[in-house]
Amino acid sequence: MASNYQNKNNNSKKITIILVAILVAVIGVNIYLFASNQSKRNEDTSDNYSAENNTTVIESNDVNETTPSDKKEGYVIATKLDENFVLDIENSDISSGANLQLWERNINNAQTFELKKLDDGYYQIININSEKALAAENGGKYEHTNVCQEDVGVSNSQYWSLVSAGNDYYYIIEKTSGLYLDVDNAWTENGTNIKLFSQNEAYEAQKWKLIKQ
């Protein structure tokens, strides 16, 4: 009887050991699977973070001068004469033919422009408020041609090159005429007209700063 009891007790211990070993193995597998999934999740999160935080590369135009990013962003365009004065669509008008003027900066969409880069390196300068592009009025190619806004894509006279003027300023040059965006008479008063004129490197009325909104 004692021998039978001892055998039963031994068998019970063996079964208990086997069950404990199986339980430990199951727990180990679960821990491994959890750690693998967590590692994969961290890698995915790291990849997403890197993608979302890529910096925009500043590119160069055909004359090897730096130009703004081609990413869609809003800019105000300030004159070097006085950076408190910026390009502005008169009376916040959204119609074609509305005049471009100089006005004191007031955080208005009539003063905010998208710089849309084209495949040939030129830009369209599109007002955020009206969704119309700056252009030489009536396709003018002569000094003192007025600048207005018109429907996007209507004419080549709404294509502009941006060339560094040094110290974060740019010349804004109309494609068809090669004339420069210019503050009339270099005045910094509300309502001063904007025109096209021949280049004058010493003339600060032709130098513009692009200020990201």
Residue 196 within any structural domain of the chain: yes
Q: What is the CATH number of the domain that holds 96?
A: 2.80.10.50
- The domain tally of the chain equals 2
Domain that holds residue 9: 1-54
What confidence score (pLDDT) does residue 36 get?
52
pTM score, two decimals?
0.68
Residue 66 within any structural domain of the chain: no
DSSP string across the chain: -HHHHHHHHHHHHHHHHHHHHHHHHHHHHHHHHHHHHHHHHHHHHHHHHHHHTPPPPP-B-TTS-B---SS--EEEEEETTEEEEEEEEGGG--STTPBEEEEE----GGG-EEEEE-TTS-EEEEETTT--EEEEGGG--STT-BEEEE-TTS-GGG-EEEEEEETTEEEEEETTT-PEEEEGGG--STTEEEEEE---TT-GGG-EEEEE-
For 192-204, what is each residue's pLDDT tens digit? 999 999 999 889 9
Q: Are residues 128 and 81 in the same domain?
A: yes
Q: Are residues 23 and 84 in the same domain?
A: no
For 65-122, what is each residue's pLDDT tens digit? 345 555 557 999 999 999 999 999 999 999 999 999 999 999 899 999 999 999 999 9
* Average pLDDT, rounded, for the chain: 80
For 118-166, what is each residue's pLDDT tens digit? 999 999 999 999 999 999 999 999 999 999 999 998 789 999 999 999 9
Q: Are residues 171 and 104 in the same domain?
A: yes
For 13-37, what is each residue's pLDDT tens digit? 566 666 656 655 656 545 555 555 5
- 136 versus 3: the higher-pLDDT residue is 136
